[in-house]
Structure 1
Amino acid sequence: MNRLFDRIFQTGAPVWLCPFRPFFLLTAAHGVLAMAAWIAFLSGLLPLPDVAGGAVVWHAHEMLFGFAMASIVGFLLTAVPEFTGLPSIPRRRLQVLVALWLGGRLAFTFSGALTAWPAALCDLALLLTLIASVAGPIWHQPDRRHVAFIYNLLALLAVHAGFYVALLGGHDPMPWLRLSIGVLMALIIVALSRISMRLVNDVLEAQGGESAPYLARPPRRNLAIFAIAAYSAGEFLLPGHAVAGWLALAAAAAIANLLNDWHVGRALCQRWVLIPYLGYVCMALGYALIGLGRLSGMEMTSAGEHLLVVGALGLAVLIVMAVAGRMHSGWGLDHRGWLPLGALLFVLAALARVGAGTPYAAAAATAGLQAAAMLWIVGWSLYLAYSLKPLSGPRPDDRGGCDEAAPVVEAATP
């Protein structure tokens, strides 16, 4: 235990070699601990937390701006230097960002006693520091091909600020959390379009070029993002209105159209292609559930939103962390069975949570919630078990910092 503590908390520890290392560890650990606490609250094993906005707001906020935000910070602070050819952020700033993230989680958990002000200051300072760290390098690129990340981060900042304004003003903050789901879905599309260009074409090349090179086509991607934004704005401005149902169906159709880029023959069956593909399937089905529920008069918004967060977001975070976390720590891609098993657990968790949120399963809702939570916890525990050493230990090669591993081999396993 002391060796693990020293490995993580010493200033020169390997965990500080690259921004994804501490933030990917925090993502998975938070996914386990926050969900375990939530189930303990629902089961009566722990008293409901005295938090600003109530326990449901705490749960939703921590999944979106705790779990998801940690993965976003780790990914962007690693990807942007790779995109732009500039050095990574200084280690001291990385430690400040980690402290802000941790401070936000603790402050929000104890916001009943502290008020929401400390959490707001930490969370918004985290986003502002992230934007300040990546906006300049992205904007000054000649082609500005990655500028969509800046727009997404500014949208997240505005939504998170709106959440805290509502919370501190005594208003319902849930519409802002629902709006943030749309921003995160758009960010997933932007991020996966970059990652998939590498992953899918690598698989196609390994299979002998059996299909045309894969392209993440901007028109389809932009249409899907526009449709998601239209639904999110419609639901925010006209909550419960039928027009939001039609817009949700339009978003589902646009995302299903985006899937046509992924139909590349046998390569679709490979884990590196199938996992993000299933994330898009969950995204399309989530918006379809919301739309059908709204237009049919059956309330399935919660079920659809959980399919978006547990399924689409969970799978997207998993594949990003499994690829970037291994490649940029020097180990190469991991071809062991834990990764497809983890993806399967998140798909099953999403389906169990959807079942618990539909009108037909009201009697078994508690069992569905518990099953979904346990599958989620096991999935991220699995990630931690297989990723702790690569993320917190030294590189196995002679490269430094965030350098990508040498050409992928299957033998590098910690």
Structure 2
Amino acid sequence: MILLSGAYRLFFPFTALFAGTAVPIWLIYHAGLVERINDPLLWHQHEMLWGYLPAALAGFLFTAIPNWTGRPAMGPKTVAGLFGLWLTARIAMFAAPEGALSHTVALAFLPIVALLALRELLAARNRRNYVVAGVVLALGLAQAVFLMSDADLGLTMGFALTFALMVHIGGRVTPAFSRNWLKKRGEDRLPVSFGPVDQLAISVSIAAAASWIVFDASALTGVLAAMASLALALRLSRWRGFAVTREPLLFAQHAGYAWLPISMALLAAASLTDLANIGQVHHALGVGAIGTITVIVMLRALLGHSGRPIEGTRFDRVFLNFLHIGAVLRVTADWTGDPTHFYHLGGAFWSVGMICFFIRAFPIALAPRV
């Protein structure tokens, strides 16, 4: 079956389909229209951070690792088994989000992904990417803390680790892809190569993430987050994002990365003042950064590995804008008199964006490589 011939074919479309349906389900519970789940907020938080994100990560890792290592891609049986485990966990968590069996199934996915990735990296001695497998395993630990010990700490660990991962991977691919595109068009002004500014941004970002985990939204966390926001914004400004606006798939990478300094600015405001709250930080990272960065990475990988040109269409511009509009509405909702309408409107935009990505991705996943 062609869907099992590559992890990207199965995981990418259905990850988006899951996100596009899970948010409306949460909004129905939030509105009080249904009361079947005892703790719908726990389900919503868990499924967006440890339901959506791990599936996108698995699809990305097992598509990228053969390129990193030169080793064969994951076989159809392994792809089917991994996807089946992820899908079973989603059903179990919806049926009984507080059940021990549901937690066991859900907790199994990330360690398996990390170990499968590490096996390939060790076999190829690809030391450069060991950290990626380590972060995936750490995300699994954060999930265990969330489900079995301290939900607030686990959530903070999950968002902080994901933030660090996006700073690392986004900072690697965004300027590189933009540089290649501009070079092909004879541009002399290219994104600045990795240097002291990048090192500073990464270091301060990791320090802010660590402080957030250890000291919560403290004054120290606020100061480090403010420094990280400024450093990441400076880093992003050196990648010539506005020079690639003609190619929506490239500009979308810059726009997605911009949510990282925004989220750190909100964390600084929430830690040092009462101008923002942690919910806004979570949604800037989750709906904004995670949502937009994962979609653009999935779309680029899907097009490239299916042999199609990595070029955006008008439809891509529309649904990518929907994701950003949804994120802006959700983050700014808490600054309005009645945020409920903004919650639902933002969720609607974001969900439609995800469903549109599924509509874009699924026919490509079903088609043979060009």
Instruction: Choose which of 69, 73, 85 in structure 1 pairs with 2:54.
Output: 69
TM-score by length of 1: 0.83
User: Who is 1:190 aligned against?
Assistant: 168
TM-score by length of 2: 0.92
Unaligned segments of structure 2, at least 5 residues: none
Matches within 5 A, 1:196-345: 196=174, 198-212=176-190, 215=193, 217=194, 219-263=196-240, 266-267=243-244, 270-345=247-322
Does residue 165 in structure 1 map to residue 148 in structure 2? yes
Larger Cα-atom Rg: 1
User: Who is 2:340 aligned against?
Assistant: 366
- Please tell me whether the aligned partners of residues 149 and 190 of structure 1 are also in contact (alpha carbons under 8 angstroms): no
Between the aligned partners of 1:324 and 1:226, the Cα distance in structure 2 is 28
User: Who is 2:81 aligned against?
Assistant: 96
CA deviation profile, 1:126-163 (whole Å, cap 9, x unmatched): 11221222113323545622222122122212212222
CA shift for structure 1 position 221: 4.4
Is the helix fraction higher in 1 or 2? 2
Between the aligned partners of 2:199 and 2:43, the Cα distance in structure 1 is 32
User: Who is 1:119 aligned against?
Assistant: 102
Between the aligned partners of 1:134 and 1:221, the Cα distance in structure 2 is 27
Secondary structure in 2 matching 1:146? helix
Between the aligned partners of 2:8 and 2:165, the Cα distance in structure 1 is 17
Secondary structure in 2 matching 1:178? helix
Deviates more, 1:260-269 or 1:382-391: 260-269
Q: Which amino acid aligns with 1:304?
A: V
Cα gap change, 1:198 to 1:280, in 2 (>3 Å): closer
Q: Percent identity?
A: 25
Matches within 5 A, 1:15-94: 15-50=3-38, 54-94=39-79
Between the aligned partners of 1:228 and 1:265, the Cα distance in structure 2 is 24
Between the aligned partners of 1:197 and 1:298, the Cα distance in structure 2 is 33
Between the aligned partners of 2:270 and 2:48, the Cα distance in structure 1 is 24
CA shift for structure 1 position 124: 2.8
Between the aligned partners of 1:281 and 1:213, the Cα distance in structure 2 is 16
| Larger RCO (CA within 8 A; separation ≥ 6) | 2
Cα gap change, 1:225 to 1:90, in 2 (>3 Å): same
Q: Which amino acid aligns with 2:127?
A: R
Secondary structure in 2 matching 1:357? helix
Does residue 131 in structure 1 map to residue 140 in structure 2? no
Secondary structure in 1 matching 2:127? coil
Between the aligned partners of 2:189 and 2:41, the Cα distance in structure 1 is 47
Between the aligned partners of 1:303 and 1:37, the Cα distance in structure 2 is 20
